[in-house]
Amino acid sequence: MFELAISIAIGVALVIAIVALVRTSDRAAQDREAADRASAALAAQTQSTADEREVRGLILASMEEGVLLFDPDGTRVFANEAIHRHLGDVPDSADRLRPTGLRDAVRRSGFVGAHIGTEVETGVPTRWLRAAAQPAGTDGSVLLVLRDVTEARRLDAVRRDFVANASHELKTPVAAIQAAAETLASGAADDPVAARRFAAQLERDAHRLSRIVSDLLDLSRLETGSERSDRVAIDALVTEEAERRGKDASDADVALRTTTDGVPAISGSTRDLRLMIGNLIDNAIRYSQPGGAVDVRVRAEPSAVLISIHDEGVGIPQRDLPRIFERFYRVDQARSRDTGGTGLGLSIVKHVCENHGGTVSVESELGVGSTFEVRLPTDAPDTTL
């Protein structure tokens, strides 16, 4: 009996030991699984952080705005690629920022803990930068963001000049019409000779006003692009426009000659190209001297059609050549108004040309004449907005 009891006890102990061993093994396996899961989660979090950092880096690198981050001591801790386009060499400290307006904005933002905005002038040629400095956290760090607003400023100036010039150009014929009408109403109608003179003036100024309004409408339309849905034979279009202006040339004692070689048709707007060609021929006739000639030629070039219009007129001073395509810009104010010019014709030419993917250039010499050349690609991409 004693030996049996001992055997039973040993068996029970062995079972208990085996159970304990199994439990320990299970617990170790569970611990290993938990460790593996934690390791995988940490790796995933690390990878996610790296991915997020890479994405942020790509975003900051692709920004047009320049970004600078300064710590509370004014030391630069981050700069994206765009900042070098705006400032060139970027200093390591806010105290060495140039122009000084940027340094002052960073200092004030860090001191008062608020957004500070300013615009500064820099570079040659002159460029304008809009700066925004703001706190980056509560420790005194400052984030500086720079945006180039040079083009926006230029466009604002162009718009202001356009409004002022348009108002002036419209005011002149309106005032003349009003004066002639008042004169007729006050008794000139009783004088047939005077009445005819003032009536002719009314007609002339009303026609001028109509041309200005028409050109303004065309220019506004062209600024949104051209619908290039036609196949346009440029040589035929030039011939038609020259024929339409034959009487104007004859009245001005100017010989109008056209030469058209066989050229391929291009994709474009017949209406707009007709407007462009008509304006160039009108200008050539208007500024030619009596007894002179205007030569219009169309020829093919590799992948392009060239329209050349040469006159033997008064010519254009070299200092004025860069500006002649501006709206309302006139080389000779008095002559332009006397001949019925609106100051918008060459601006219209430039817009039509650009809408068709082409280029326009001019060569001129005072007292000798001018040559305008328009190149229109035969396979230009559609630039319609």
DSSP 8-state code for residue 340: T
Cα–Cα distance, 146 to 115 (Å, whole number):
13
Q: Are residues 237 and 370 in the same domain?
A: yes
Which of these, 246, 245, 364, lies nearest to 314 by C-alpha position?
A: 364
Q: Are residues 252 and 118 in the same domain?
A: no
Domain at 283, CATH number: 3.30.565.10
Q: Are residues 205 and 335 in the same domain?
A: no
Boundary (domain end) residue, out of 44, 62, 80 = 62
pLDDT digits (tens, 9 = 90+) for 231-263: 999 999 999 999 999 999 999 999 999 998 888
Which of these, 317, 233, 321, 320, lies nearest to 277 by C-alpha position?
A: 233
Is-contact 118 101, C-beta < 8 A?
Answer: yes
DSSP 8-state code for residue 174: H
- pLDDT reported for residue 189: 60
- pLDDT reported for residue 339: 56
In the block, tokens 């933002």 appear at 109
Q: For all residues of the chain together, what is the average pLDDT?
A: 80
Domain at 167, CATH number: 1.10.287.130
pLDDT digits (tens, 9 = 90+) for 5-38: 566 666 656 656 555 555 555 565 665 666 666 6
Reduced to 3 states, what is the DSSP secondary structure of residue 384?
coil
Angstrom CA distances, 57 to 49, 54, 85, 112, stand at: 12, 5, 17, 29
- pLDDT reported for residue 385: 42
- Write out the two tokens for 192: 């047939």
Cβ neighbours for 150, distance < 8 A, ≥ 6 positions apart: 126, 127, 128
- pLDDT reported for residue 35: 60
Report the pLDDT averaged over residues 353-379: 91
- pLDDT reported for residue 12: 55
Reduced to 3 states, what is the DSSP secondary structure of residue 325?
coil
pLDDT digits (tens, 9 = 90+) for 301-346: 888 999 999 998 888 888 888 888 888 877 765 555 555 567 888 9
Beta strands in the chain (DSSP E): 66-70, 76-79, 116-122, 127-135, 142-148, 230-232, 255-260, 266-268, 293-301, 304-311, 359-365, 369-377
Boundary (domain end) residue, out of 120, 148, 176 = 148
Return the C-alpha torsion angle 88, 90, 94, 95, nearest 10: -70
Q: Are residues 343 and 250 in the same domain?
A: yes
Domain at 77, CATH number: 3.30.450.20
Residue 383 has pLDDT above 70, yes or no: no
- pLDDT reported for residue 33: 66
User: Looking at this protein, which amino acid is placed at residue 93?
Assistant: S
234-244 vs 270-286: helix crossing angle, rounded to 10: 50
- pLDDT reported for residue 62: 58
Largest separation between any pair of C-alpha atoms in the chain: 160
Which of these, 240, 321, 327, 248, lies nearest to 275 by C-alpha position?
A: 240
Boundary (domain end) residue, out of 62, 81, 102 = 62
Q: Are residues 191 and 325 in the same domain?
A: no
Residue 191 has pLDDT above 50, yes or no: yes
- pLDDT reported for residue 11: 61
Q: Are residues 207 and 218 in the same domain?
A: yes
Residue 77 has pLDDT above 80, yes or no: yes
Cα–Cα distance, 385 to 379 (Å, whole number):
18
* Domain hosting residue 194, numbered range: 151-222
Q: Are residues 104 and 74 in the same domain?
A: yes
Is-contact 92 74, C-beta < 8 A?
Answer: no
Cβ neighbours for 317, distance < 8 A, ≥ 6 positions apart: 331, 366
Cα–Cα distance, 63 to 81 (Å, whole number):
8
Q: Are residues 202 and 231 in the same domain?
A: no
Which of these, 53, 35, 33, lies nearest to 45 by C-alpha position?
A: 53
Q: Are residues 382 and 243 in the same domain?
A: yes
Report the pLDDT averaged over residues 99-106: 87
pLDDT digits (tens, 9 = 90+) for 112-151: 778 888 888 887 678 888 888 888 877 888 888 988 888 8
Reduced to 3 states, what is the DSSP secondary structure of residue 91?
coil
| Of 59-63, 183-187, 378-382, highest mean pLDDT | 183-187
**Of the listed ranges 71-80, 230-239, 265-274, the one predicted with least confidence:** 71-80
In the block, tokens 């208007």 appear at 286
Q: Are residues 284 and 348 in the same domain?
A: yes
**For the chain, what is the domain count?**
4
Report the pLDDT averaged over residues 160-164: 75
Q: Are residues 366 and 257 in the same domain?
A: yes
- pLDDT reported for residue 18: 58
Residue 384 has pLDDT above 50, yes or no: no
Q: Are residues 351 and 239 in the same domain?
A: yes
0.85 exceeded by pTM: no
